[in-house]
Amino acid sequence: MCGIVGVTGRADAQSVLVEGLRRLEYRGYDSAGVCVAGPDGALATERAAGKVAALSDKLGARGGLAGLSGIAHTRWATHGAAEERNAHPHRAGRVALVHNGIIENHGALKAELMAEGRVFVSDTDSEVVAHLFDAALDQHADPHDAWRAVIDRLKGAFALAAVSETAPGLVFGARKAAPLLAALGPGTGYIASDAMALPEDAATLIYLEDGDTVVVGAGSADVRDAQGRPAQRKQAAGPGVFGRVDKGPFRHFMEKEIHEQPEVVGRTIAAYVHLADGAVNLPAKVDFAAMNRLLIVACGTAAYAGMVARYWFESLAGLPTEVDIASEFRYRDPAFSPGDAALFISQSGETADPLEALRLCKAAGLVTIALTNTAHSTMAREADIVLPTLAGPEIGVASTKAFTCQLSALAALAIAAGAQRGRMDAQAVKGAIADLSAAPRLMGEALSLRQGVDALALDLARSDIVLFLGRNSLFPLALEGALKLKEISYIHAEGYPAGELKHGPIALIEEGVAVIVLAPMDALFDKTRSSIEQVRARGARVIAVADAAAAVALEDQSALTLVTPDAGRLATPLVMAVAVQLIAYLTAVHKGTDVDQPRNLAKSVTVE
Ligand code: M6R
């Protein structure tokens, strides 16, 4: 979603801000802007609809903005179209301000400010905050007090950064239910919605908490809590030069991230199991024996990882498991029972709905567990138990390596649950770990499917609709395959349980419709094959993703078979994930879409 960068104490403030915006591009946005405080303290702003490159061009055309401090923003439109006049920073008198989130009471505040004679020039909810701050600066001697007074009037979710001509060299920040951190370097200070945006000299990160305000100066950060009291917050070392990510030899981050999977999945598995002993060794203690029910809550791809895991938790551990989409869960008055525990899966650890669901479960007294790729995220900070995925930074909006790392961690958790609940003896645990541990090697082999997928993708790029079918733990993978394809190629794709076909979806089948069937040679293979027959009989073009034995059995039934390496039950979804990711990626490449930053999408959905 929107991205924020603020800087002070840097002679090259404009470059730091624009480079920060570039590093935040992966989050998804549709306009960008920057404001720099010049040597005389006067604020100068530039904004552009579209990409950061358009903003850079405009800055170049006016010879750049000189100054030591400033703020910048990438906007993902919520209130008001993606036009320059709605882009941030917003100006009001002596103030410039950027905002992520939604100010729920902006209507009432705007009416009040207009009655005082203030004029609004955008359709955004954010502009009111700039006006409030400009007005408050007249009423408080200390600018931090003025800033606090503004924040106290806001309802909703927000991360804010502001500068004022009355407080040269200072950058004001505030967070409530949206990510924001401060950072310090030698004689420099920063604010950012994501550490990725920070330059190398941001040596110390300061993680703000909900309700905090901060005023950052050159080498100083004054953090205050929601009551206005000075606060010490958790600190960590900045990402430094080693935290930087680039595409390497790949054309897109998504392509790179697909290829990184054998390594990062291997790393994640190694954090959860003792490969040499064939035993589980979780990075944090989880008492599965005490659980009567596991609730898994997440969004999008992370929810599909949870759906795969439900099959594993129930069959390996006999642990009743329910999976919920976070935005539904948090508003449906979920009924809890003693012994319920809740597991939240999130790459970013900042997604608004699972975060609120976590808070809801915590308030209800459940043990809360966060499985996240972002160690210092809000969910990681708030959950009782934190479990990592070690995918490294994921830049492509379409999640790939984070998904398979989630699957590998969840498989290890299901094995641990099976052992703790007496469903698996040491031998069974060893066997399951051997199955899982083969995944990185087999995923590496599956990458060679690329050649076969490329020809298919050329064809799919001309399709209007693609269906994905799967059974058992591969049904959620069918959903994930369809989500990947629609996200980045904009082709209408749907995933269904193969057995559900006759209950409606088969009406979509007509001559030439592409149906991608996930068909390993498992206990349900014959049933999957009969689904294939049913769509084939109605003219579908069947593409099977199958292991060697299933490929032979389907020889006459599929128009094309992508043969994946033979894998055990736990590794199969991981291996077949590579195939569906390659299908989506290469189809999008043939269509020429913006693979890493698809239209309308944000990497981390931090507002409802
Ligand atoms: O950061 P999170 O894992 O909480 O994000 C959840 C979803 O927003 C995310 O998986 C989304 O569906 C991706 N675009 C899928 O590729």
Task: Please name which of 588, 210, 199, 577 lies closest in space to residue 391, comparing C-alpha atoms.
Answer: 577
399 ligand 1 Cβ < 6 A: yes
Q: Is 527 a catalytic residue?
A: no
Whether pLDDT at 131 is above 70: yes
Atom 4, ligand 1: which residue's CA is nearest?
346
Rounded Cα distance, 441 and 316, in Å: 23
- Percentage of the chain lying above the pLDDT 90 cut: 85
Radius of gyration of the chain (CA): 25
Q: What is the pLDDT of residue 102?
A: 87
pLDDT of residue 244: 65
CA pair distance 189, 333, nearest whole angstrom:
43
Give the tens place of pLDDT for each residue, 530-573. Answer: 999 999 999 999 999 999 999 999 999 999 999 999 999 999 99
- Side chain identity, residue 193: S
| CA 297 – CA 341 distance, rounded (Å) | 11
Residue 602 beta carbon below 6 angstroms from any ligand 1 atom: no
Tell me: pLDDT of 242 over 60. no
* Closest by CA position to 182, among listed 237, 227, 221, 124: 221
- Which sequence spans correspond to the domains of the chain? 3-238, 254-437, 447-597
Nearest of 22, 24, 17 to residue 44 by alpha carbon: 17
Locate the ligand 1 atom nearest the alpha carbon of residue 400 and give its number: 16
Strands (E), 268-312: 273-274, 279-280, 293-298
pLDDT band at 141 (very low <50, low <70, confident <90, very high): very high
Average pLDDT over residues 301-325: 98
Output the six-digit token pair for 203. Answer: 């040596």
Contact 392, 260 (CB under 8 A): yes
Q: Quote the ligand 1 centre to 134 CA distance (angstroms).
A: 37
* pTM for the predicted model, two decimal places: 0.79
What CA–CA distance (Å, rounded) separates 602 from 526?
40
Cα–Cα–Cα angle for 289, 291, 296, rounded to 5 degrees? 125
Whether omega before 573 lies within 30 degrees of 0, making that bond cis, reads no
> Is ligand 1 within 6 A of the CB of residue 400?
no
Residue 128, SS3 per DSSP: helix
Question: What whole-number distance in Å separates Cα of residue 30 and Cα of residue 385?
Answer: 36
Identify the DSSP state of 422.
Answer: T
Instruction: Tell me whether the CATH fold assigned to 3-238 matches the one assigned to 447-597.
Output: no
Pick the CATH number of 3-238 from 3.10.20.30, 3.40.50.10380, 3.40.720.10, 3.60.20.10: 3.60.20.10
pLDDT at 234: 86
**Averaged confidence pLDDT in the chain:** 94
Give phi and psi for 46, each to the nearest 5. Answer: -135, 140
Residue 110 structure tokens: 């705007």
- Can you name the CATH fold of 447-597? Rossmann fold (3.40.50)
Average pLDDT over residues 264-286: 92
Query: In the chain, what percentage of residues exceed pLDDT 70?
Result: 99
236 CA distance to ligand 1 middle (Å): 25
Q: Are 329 and 368 in contact (CB under 8 A)?
A: no
Query: What is the band of 511 on the pLDDT scale with cuts at 50, 70, 90?
Result: very high
Which of 86, 76, 104, 89 lies closest to 3 in space, CA to CA? 76
Name the phi and psi angles at 243, rounded to 5. Answer: -80, -5
Q: Comparing 85-94, 372-381, 540-549, which segment has the lowest mean pLDDT?
A: 372-381
| Token representation of residue 589 | 């490449």
The mean pLDDT value for 341-351 works out to 96
346 in contact with ligand 1, CB cutoff 6 A? yes
Q: Which of 605, 606, 607 to mutate to test the pocket of ligand 1 (most atoms within 8 A of CB)?
A: 605
Instruction: Identify the residue whose C-alpha is closest to ligand 1 atom 16.
Output: 398
β 321-325/340-346 pair status: unpaired
Predicted local confidence at residue 280, as pLDDT? 94
Per-residue pLDDT, 163:
98
pLDDT digits (tens, 9 = 90+) for 466-508: 999 999 999 999 999 999 999 999 999 999 999 998 899 899 9
H/E segment holding residue 578: helix 571-591
Beta strands in 76-170 (DSSP E): 90-92, 95-103, 156-164
In this structure, the residue with its CA closest to atom 14 of ligand 1 is 398
Indicate if 361 belongs to the active site: no
Q: Which of 2, 35, 361, 405 is catalytic?
A: 2
pLDDT in tens, 415-445: 999 999 999 999 999 999 999 999 999 999 9
How confident is the model over 34-60, as pLDDT tens digits?
A: 999 998 889 999 999 999 999 999 999
- pLDDT of 247 strictly over 90: no
Give the distance, in angstroms, between the CA of residue 333 and the centroid of all CA atoms in the same chain.
25
Ligand 1 within 6 A of 299 CB? yes
Which CATH code fits 254-437?
3.40.50.10490
Binning pLDDT at 50, 70 and 90, where does residue 243 land? low
Instruction: Assess whether the C-beta atom of 396 lies below 6 angstroms from ligand 1.
Output: no
What is the identity of the amino acid at 177? A
What's the pLDDT at 376? 84
Whether 348 is in the pocket of ligand 1, judged by its Cβ within 6 Å, is: yes
